[in-house]
Structure 1
Amino acid sequence: MYVPPAFHEDDLTALHAAMRDARLSNLVTATAEGLVATPLPLLLAPDEGPFGTLYGHLARANPQWTLPPTGEAMALFMGPDAYVSPSWYPSKLEHQKVVPTWNYVAVHAYGPIGFFEDADRLLEVVTRLTNLHEQPRAKPWSVADAPEAFIRAQLRGIVGLRMPITRLEGKRKMSQNRSEADRRGVAAGLAGSERAPERDVAKLIPV
């Protein structure tokens, strides 16, 4: 990922937070048959290894897990993003030398990937992922709420994955390369948007 110095994010706590907030990632592997990608919710175990370890699962019918990867796998996490109109820059009135851009948060995680079929390990991963996303609900659903035989049958339709992270790339592009006045203009413009993700971006712009 191309990351100019102004947008570089290397704080591990911030990177992990962005990965958790993204909720859905894209898992990409290079194979002899070409690139393969699958959208997946992934579970981050932050204390496993220097950068953490990712866990998840794929449908057994998904060929991605049967195609041996060439080199590292990559998981892409996207945070809030928004189109930035030049009309929000006060500097536009001064010299007109402005163009549109896009603000966003992105994290790329790399590492070797392994797949497993053990039912007990799969149950643990599915349970942890479910608990993570059910936790905010007033009445969280639990894997244990379903009949055990039914869950065991469902587990036979998936395979687990484990990816120890060997390196992380982070980019937080939030108009840091603009003047304070321009940043304030962008933040105000996005704060008035009808789209919640754009309002989220407005809160991340340093003003």
Structure 2
Amino acid sequence: MTRSLFLRELRLRLRGGGWAASLGLFVLACALAPLGLGRDEALLRAAGPGLLWLTASLSLLLGLDGQHEEDVRAGGLDLLRLSSLPLPVSMLVKMAAGWVSACLPLVLVSPVLLFAFGATPMQGAAGALGLLLGTPALALLAGTIGALCAGVRRGTGLLVFLALPLFVPCLVFGPAAAGEAPGAPLLLLGAFSLQALAICPFVAAGAIRAQTT
């Protein structure tokens, strides 16, 4: 049942096209950033990882927006609540599908964008690993806030307003992972994702349970 739910959610995300808009915004914003920063190679190398993470965060909110809306309209949340699968597990599966559709493409293209900013191959690999370790936390947080905002009209602005402050640890340690000493930032990004994994599915399940009672 977990596999069927994951494949259903993944199909919905891919069919909705939010992942394409998210990836397009990410690539376009990072490609245009050097035009505004100028051609100073040292400046581009220093600013690149921070711009990458900031753009990734905004792109993810675009790609993960509305991941509960289809269930709200079709009554899928009631079915999830009544199914034999524990509701926190169902929420985790939905968030995992959101990560695969919206975050994984960003992780895959990030080394190329870091190279464009002048990063070395080692820095590009560390930056991509940082995104791989940190974006699960972003997807879990966005999914949880999406569950809290499910059914709210024009919830996109509210989602962005509530989610961005929670993204601060990733925005602090993510760019540092592409620096000279990536070890500690990578460990902290992984710890942040593990912490979100331990908390967010239960908070999201509580929000959905409160809305369907």
User: Shorter-normalised TM-score: what interval?
Assistant: under 0.3
Pick the structure with greater CA Rg. Answer: 1
TM-score by length of 2: 0.20
Q: Which has the higher helix share?
A: 2
TM-score by length of 1: 0.21
